[in-house]
């Protein structure tokens, strides 16, 4: 158990719909990262928040948005869903920002999103 909690674990929804994925970081971690893993793809970085502020953006679609709340939990909002959005979405957290030595990034178990 990494200490990073993601909900829901599985979600099936229709095209055009909107979903929210939730992440609670490890206690004491200020950074939250979101990654997408599609079939045949490695983990694709989406976005990084540190203590409530956006720090870095990756290949995140305009239909997707995220935020980190004062209690440090984060939500990833996916709207106007398409079939190609079906993927495993991972949240990760770390104490500090980025991949500096000693700043281990811990991953949650992921949220499986299936768009039908």
Partner 1 sequence: DQQVKQNSPSLSVQEGRISILNCDYTNSMFDYFLWYKKYPAEGPTFLISISSIKDKNEDGRFTVFLNKSAKHLSLHIVPSQPGDSAVYFCAASALLTGNKLVFGAGTILRVKS
- 101 binds partner 1, rule: CB under 8 A: yes
Min dist CB 16 to partner 1, Å, is: 29
Among 55, 60, 73, 75, binds partner 1 (CB under 8 A): 55
In the numeric block, which tokens belong to residue 116?
């039908």
Among 34, 35, 49, 64, binds partner 1 (CB under 8 A): 35
Beta strand ranges found along the chain (DSSP E)? 5-7, 10-13, 19-24, 31-37, 43-50, 53-57, 64-68, 74-78, 87-94, 106-107, 111-115
In the numeric block, which tokens belong to residue 58?
């990756």
Task: Give the 3-state secondary structure of residue 96.
Answer: coil
- 44 binds partner 1, rule: CB under 8 A: yes
- 90 binds partner 1, rule: CB under 8 A: yes
- 66 binds partner 1, rule: CB under 8 A: no
First to last CA, the chain: 31
Contact positions vs partner 1 (CB under 8 A)? 2, 4, 33, 35, 40-45, 48, 55-56, 58, 90, 92, 97-101, 104-110
């Amino acid at each position: 158990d990494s200490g990073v909690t993601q909900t829901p674990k599985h979600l099936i929804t229709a095209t055009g719909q909107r979903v929210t994925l939730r992440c609670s970081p490890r206690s004491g971690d200020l950074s939250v990262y979101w990654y997408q893993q599609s079939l045949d793809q490695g983990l694709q970085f989406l976005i990084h928040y540190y203590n409530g502020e956006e720090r870095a953006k990756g290949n995140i679609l305009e239909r997707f948005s995220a935020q980190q709340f004062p209690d440090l939990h984060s939500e990833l909002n996916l709207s106007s869903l398409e079939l190609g959005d079906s993927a495993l979405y991972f949240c990760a957290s770390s104490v500090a920002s980025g991949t500096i030595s000693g700043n281990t990034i811990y991953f949650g178990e992921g949220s499986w999103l299936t768009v039908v």
